[in-house]
Amino acid sequence: MSLILTEDQLMFRDAAKRFAAERAPVAQLRKLRDQSDGVGFDREVWKEMAQMGWAGVLVPEEHGGAGFGYVGAGLIAEEVGRNVSATPLLSTAVLAVTALLRGGSAAQKEALLPAIAGGDLVVALASDEKNRHAPHSIATRATGGGGKFKLNGRKVYVLDGHVAAVKAAREQNLLGDLRQPLRLRRDHFEQLSPLLGREPDVRAEERPRRAVDGGHRRPQLV
């Protein structure tokens, strides 16, 4: 792996640096916090970030993404951290896209990845069940069959889960395999039904938790 950035990567980094400083500075996060904003980030700014290639940084070009890989994602994350930018970058563009690329079905990738890359879809990965990260200690179980599954369990610290249109929950022994049907919020179903072509089974109870920074909320799902 080369430790020297290419010309394209340098241009990508410089553009990210300018954008984060101008459109997503720490002042924006403080404003959202002081206004007790229920979302935790500016959706219009997220759409602009998507146009910059941020939302689709890991999404392959054939699915409408930028395809800059983890080096590109790291360059964006550096500027997001420098400015303490309020953005669903980690939940959606990194965690969710990585899970979909590694374990999603062809149909799920085709339906969800372009929407993520376009900034139209926020996705939350529900994995942790304990106060500390323990990816191999999962009690949640999936039961059923024939394309219909029911998840039973409790997930905590679901980053951006309070606004996500799709919540993908990990079940024991699946190790991130998202071939099970994704859990959807009913209030977002109308925008997703043309993509998924089926009625979701939504019974998850959402219990909000606010982060210490006053910004992003990390609800638990039961």
In 3-state terms the chain splits into helix, strand, coil percentages (rounded to 5) of 40, 10, 45
Greater pLDDT, 77 or 181? 77
pLDDT mean over 108-123: 95
Q: What is the pLDDT of residue 2?
A: 65
Nearest to 86 by CA among 130, 35, 11: 35
Lowest model confidence (mean pLDDT) among 9-23, 158-172, 176-190? 176-190
Q: What is the pLDDT of residue 173?
A: 38
Q: Where are the domains of the chain?
A: 7-89
**pLDDT for residue 7:** 95
Asked if residue 165 has pLDDT above 90, the reply is no
Of the chain, the percentage scoring pLDDT greater than 90 comes to 52
Enter the tokens of residue 156: 């905590």
Residue 67's pLDDT band (cuts 50, 70, 90):
very high
Angle among Cα 157, 165, 148 to the nearest 5 degrees reads: 95
Fold of 7-89: Butyryl-Coa Dehydrogenase, subunit A; domain 1 (1.10.540)
- DSSP β-ladder status, 166-169 and 123-126: parallel
Q: Which two tokens stand for residue 37?
A: 């904003």
Residue 101 binned pLDDT confidence (cut-offs 50, 70, 90): very high
Q: Is the pLDDT of residue 190 over 60?
A: no
Distant-in-sequence, close-in-space partners of 144: CB < 8 Å, separation ≥ 6:
150
Taking the C-alpha atoms of 34, 39, 44 and 45 in order, what is their torsion angle to the nearest 10 degrees? 60
**Residue with the larger pLDDT of the pair 76 and 201:** 76
Closest CA to 201 of 186, 188, 190: 186
Q: Is the pLDDT of residue 90 over 70?
A: yes
- The b-or-e profile of 101-135 (16+ CB within 10 A means b, else e) is eebbeeebbebbbbbbbbbebbbbbbbbbeeeeee
Question: What was the pLDDT predicted at 71?
Answer: 95
**Average model confidence (pLDDT) across the chain:** 81
Q: For 20-36, what is each residue's pLDDT tens digit?
A: 999 999 999 999 999 99
Structural tokens at position 152: 């039973």
pLDDT confidence tier of residue 52, bands split at 50, 70 and 90: very high
The H-assigned helical ranges of the chain are 7-23, 26-34, 43-51, 69-83, 97-103, 106-117, 189-196
Residues in CB range of 15: below 8 A, 6 or more apart:
52
Residue 115 has φ and ψ, to the nearest 5°, of -65, -35
The whole-number pLDDT of residue 123 equals 93
Range of lowest pLDDT (122-126, 144-148, 167-171): 167-171
